A and B are shown apart, each in its own frame.
Chain A
Amino acid sequence: MLARRIIPCLDVRDGRVVKGVKFRNHEDVGGIVELARRYAREGADELVFYDITASARGATVEPEWVSAVAREIDIPFCVAGGIRSVDDARARLFAGADKISVNSPALENPGLIDALAREFGCQCVVLGVDSRLIAGQWRVHQFTGDPDKTRTVERRTLDWIAEGIDRGAGEVVLNCMDMDGVRDGYDIEQLAAARAACSTPLIASGGAGRKEHFKSAFELANVDGALAASVFHKRVMEIGELKAYLGAEGIRVRS
């Protein structure tokens, strides 16, 4: 049986892993390779690296650290941040990343998703979606790596997810911004709505604070994986301990 995935998320800025609350006030939490190694050892099923400044600055992630991570760890990882072209994606995949995730550049140019899926196969292409409730509707946000440049676009979150999958995205990471970093639990309602609109794997992001939150995301929103950052960075819980809890609760995890 397919296991539900626990995915630590490492927000990368200027070569270090950082973490903010609701996308602001970032603090340094460690070195990239050092944290990647620790999480792989503790039982993480996959890692996601977001270069949170890349899109906002018009820069792209550096393949050097992608390669350093690939050399070090024996679990899959995804790289996100400022991938604007097939060439950007190729550099990261050839450096050893298993998947690439597109967010802001895909909003500017949705055809990028088609081009990436055609070139590398949809299994490599992850659609990252930052979403927030506005006037009763979930809406997509853009450029969230930099508070001064963050803006809401007109797209409705669920429409964008469906379009992204039609265009060839093989996985969706839904980051519920209202919950990000506050550890009050995942946005179950939004995730469940996204699940219904999403035929590919769906990964929950934003809000994990306690073990029960992971359980709820899997049981109530039926997500394939749950992504979290601060609870792991700050050692609120260990991944092994979380997976033991989930296993005991009847949720299938990789031991």
Chain B
Amino acid sequence: MTIGLIDTGCANIASVRFALERAGLNHVVVRDADETGDCDRLILPGVGAAGPAMDRLRARGWDVSLRIDGRPLLGICLGMQLLFETSDEGNAACLELLPGQVRQLPRTDGLVWPHMGWNTLEAPAADEPLLRGIPAGTHVYFVHGFYVPAGAVTRAQCDYGAAISAIVRREHVSGCQFHPERSGLAGARILSNFASI
């Protein structure tokens, strides 16, 4: 098992890399799609803004290669949002691997923006492989101002002024809005679950 960790040059991939190390999961950092020959699954991490991140993915051909890739893929945070069609953040066109749009979290009265901190996973799908051993109500660490409204591909949600997609999946394409690499033991379990899909 080898995970290819996609480095677009604009995301902080150190914390994901260290989390994979702590979990004892074999991985390599890949910059271009033609470097993934040894990988049987891929992680698309993401910190930053949707537009610049998509520019970098396109510059390295990931927009095309991921569309025809059948390996298990896990997008993290912005990386998850990029799996969808478009993002309201800078009106960016995204990878279109999953149906849906990324919206700005409502700035509701009484709720601070962005959504930052430990929040609970709700309504987990019983058959979601990423959630093996993770009960409903488990706290994981979120930091985001944009979100994918809970919908057809949502496998667990989180409530913060809106029903947020916390985990999404369609076939081999999956994502976490929260940061498993910074979510303590639960996060480590989710990464291990991804490695055993």
Contact = CB atoms under 8 A, between A and B. Distances in A.
Of A3, A71, A254, most B-chain CB atoms within 10 Å: A254
Given A74-B22, A75-B141, A123 B182 contact: no
B48 interface: yes
B163 interface: no
12 contacts: A74-B183, A75-B184, A94-B14, A96-B14, A96-B18, A121-B47, A123-B47, A123-B144, A124-B47, A200-B112, A225-B117, A254-B139
Interface residues on B, range: 35 or more
Contacts, number: 96
Interface in A1-43: 1-3, 5, 40
Given A199-B113, A200-B113, A74 B182 contact: yes
B38 interface: no
A180 interface: no
The 4 closest A-B CB pairs, nearest first, are A96-B14, A254-B139, A254-B118, A3-B118
A74 B181 contact: yes
Contact of B15 (A2, A70, A121): A70
B182 A76 contact: yes
A58 B18 CA distance: 30
A170 B179 CA distance: 17
A98 B15 contact: yes
Interface in B29-69: 47-49
A75 B182 contact: yes
Given A74-B188, A94-B14, A98-B182, A5 B112 contact: no
A122 interface: yes
B145 A122 contact: yes
Contacts of B70: none
Interface in A187-237: 198-202, 224-225
Given A70-B15, A93-B47, A199-B107, A2 B160 contact: yes
A51 interface: no
Contacts of B185: 74
B113 A74 contact: no
Given A3-B117, A120-B48, 13 more contacts: A3-B139, A70-B15, A70-B18, A74-B181, A74-B183, A75-B141, A76-B141, A98-B182, A120-B47, A122-B145, A123-B116, A254-B118, A254-B139
A171 B116 contact: yes
Contacts of B14: 67, 70, 94-96
Interface in A114-167: 119-124
Contacts of A70: 14-15, 18
A75 B141 CA distance: 8
Interface string B140-178: 010111000000000000011000000000000000000
Nearest to A225: B117
B116 A224 contact: yes
B88 interface: no
A201 B112 contact: yes
Contacts of B135: none
Nearest to B110: A222
Contacts of B115: 2
A102 B14 CA distance: 21
A94 B10 CA distance: 9
B143 A76 contact: yes
A2 B22 CA distance: 26
Nearest to B112: A201
B118 A74 contact: no
Contact of A202 (B49, B112, B181): B112
Contacts of A225: 117
